[in-house]
Structure 1
């Protein structure tokens, strides 16, 4: 069984799908509008843009996320150009109420004075946060249609811009190119099922990876006192690289000599004798994570891949990775950390989270 340890405790987000936008208590009605936001532009921390009659400031690197966004990257600086842009036409729709169930097509007036239409049924999610469930609405307009974005030309359903958005503080070792290079090892990874299912699987994989590595910051297990514990001498091949050589490494923190042996055999790599490949080669590191995701049940009853493509849900991926420690009430805070990150990532990819989020 792969032994995994949570490296950081991630703060729970305020609602499913992102961080709450900061809206000033007094609108800056006299403020001039900054340059309009452009989907193709890259914005770094401190950059200011205008969108739908309001100014926003980027907190960190971002691209292709329209303000106010779903990840909390945009800080709302208030109305610009003489006040909040009123919707066209005459509206008499009810005020949005948090926690109220809204069905597809429902139109509400939000606290910023603007109107939003529900693209999908939802339990009262904040319209300025969840762009999957809500879309801006102009009175008299036609309800928009929504579908997942087309596949990324690079072959992965997550674009490099989205990857950078998910991991703004990642270690330079964890390259996007290394991840893309690793995809060939298991062609069914994020390529099974509908476009929505493919993106859900990618979000689930990356959410668990985020949890295991503190946001792709840590390459190796931080508690070196554990290193000698990962050698199981009952295996016929023993520990040829040394008793303390099989500590956690890479996106899923591969550990134990028998896991290095199995992963190496599956990938055609000498990981049993040279486990350091996982911490020195980004593509190898990603391949070991995808190997575990695609082939190992761990403490669960199915692989994490099967959990996502069969509809078993994100909760079963947690069980497959660290269920013996976290699931069934073992560590609800760690489970919530993974779920919250998954909800954020599906929001970035523009798909719903699906059912069965917990284990």
Structure 2
């Protein structure tokens, strides 16, 4: 009887001891899991910090400080800068600083330092209908729509509105005013025109030739406008700390 009683007491004491050990072991395991989880979270956070975003890589072609130097005092400067960087992603303008300087020189002239997205003569009415009609592509234009210069590159002619719209996925033929009213569309159409005409391939003078050569180059009636174009380009080069290694500036 005593032996049986001793066995029962021993079994009871062992059970209590095990019950006291198991929760402690469970806590250690939970602690280890928490630490591993914390390490994973920390590693993930480090990866997120270290991985360059597409916007930051595009921004390296032109910093916000450089943009503000070229175009000082813009009320919506940060919005305009951000929209520009977004519009050049995946394009040569997004990687080539010399080409970006050329581009900004040209749009700086065309838009009076990014302050005018509607052609002045259209506002006065003197050229309101000058760019209407089917143009070289024979497009049928909606009644009451006009295709004078809009955007930072002053996109003109119905054929260009149609082609640019198709490229950026918008109906600009029926809604040409958005090229002037939307900062994003102003940049997208400007970049489209620049790329489709291969403006960045040669010198600054050759870009002027492609943009407005008939009026400005070779002693044309608007030849004096080149002084403004060149001044804007020189400002871009200075602010970006670049030499002019793209050939002649006057056509």
Q: Name the TM-score, length of structure 2 as normaliser.
A: 0.69
Contact 2:102–2:200 (8 Å) recurs in 1: no
Which position in structure 2 is the counterpart of 1:200?
Answer: 98
Q: Indicate the structure with greater strand content.
A: 1
Deviation at 1:169, TM superposition (A): 3.6
CA distance in 1, matches of 2:99, 2:70: 15
Q: Is the 8 A contact 1:229 1:244 kept in 2?
A: no
TM-score w.r.t. length of structure 1? 0.49
In the aligned structure 2, how far is the partner of 1:245 from the partner of 1:274? 10
Distance in 2 (alpha carbons) for counterparts of 1:278 and 1:189: 20
- For 1:174-253, list aligned pairs within 5 A: 175-184=80-89, 187-191=91-95, 198-224=96-122, 225=125, 226-233=127-134, 235-240=137-142, 242-253=143-154
Counterpart of 1:306 (choices 195, 201, 222) is 201
**Equivalent residue number for residue 261 of structure 1:** 162
Cα offset, 1:244, TM superposition: 4.2
Distance 1:357 1:237, change over 3 A: closer
Q: Partners in 2 of 1:318 and 1:285 — Cα distance?
A: 19
Give, in whole Å, the separation in 1 of the partners of 2:134 and 2:153: 23
Alignment check: 8 A CA contact 2:99 2:200 kept? yes
Tell me the distance in 1 between the aligned counterparts of 2:181 and 2:231.
30
Equivalent residue, structure 1, for 2:216: 326
- 2:237 pairs with 1:346: yes
**Offset of 1:314 from its aligned partner?**
0.9
CA distance in 1, matches of 2:205, 2:180: 28
Counterparts of 1:44-55 in structure 2, within 5 Å, are none
Matched ranges for 1:1-12 at <5 A: none
The CA distance in 2 between the partners of 1:324 and 1:336, in whole Å, is: 16
1:249–1:255: 8 Å Cα contact kept in structure 2?
A: yes
| Distance of 1:207 and 1:217 partners within structure 2 | 14
> SS where residue 304 of structure 1 aligns?
coil
Q: What RMSD in Å do the two structures reach over aligned CA positions?
A: 2.0
Residues 63-102 of structure 1 mapped to structure 2, 5 A cutoff? none
Structure 2 gap ranges (5+): 1-54
Alpha-carbon shift at residue 171 of structure 1 (Å): 5.6
Tell me the distance in 2 between the aligned counterparts of 1:188 and 1:262.
20
Cα offset, 1:178, TM superposition: 1.1
Q: Distance in 2 between matches of 1:274 and 1:254?
A: 13
Q: Which runs of 5+ in 1 are unaligned?
A: 1-151, 192-197, 297-302, 308-312
CA separation in 2, counterparts of 1:334 and 1:236?
Answer: 31
Q: 1:280–1:341: structure 2 CA closer, same or farther, 3 Å change rule?
A: closer
- Quote the residue 1:335 is aligned against: 226
Aligned residues: 189
Structure-2 residue corresponding to 1:356: 248
Counterpart of 2:50 in structure 1 is none
Other-structure match for 2:72: 168
Q: Does the Cα contact within 8 Å between 2:58 and 2:94 map onto a contact in 1?
A: no
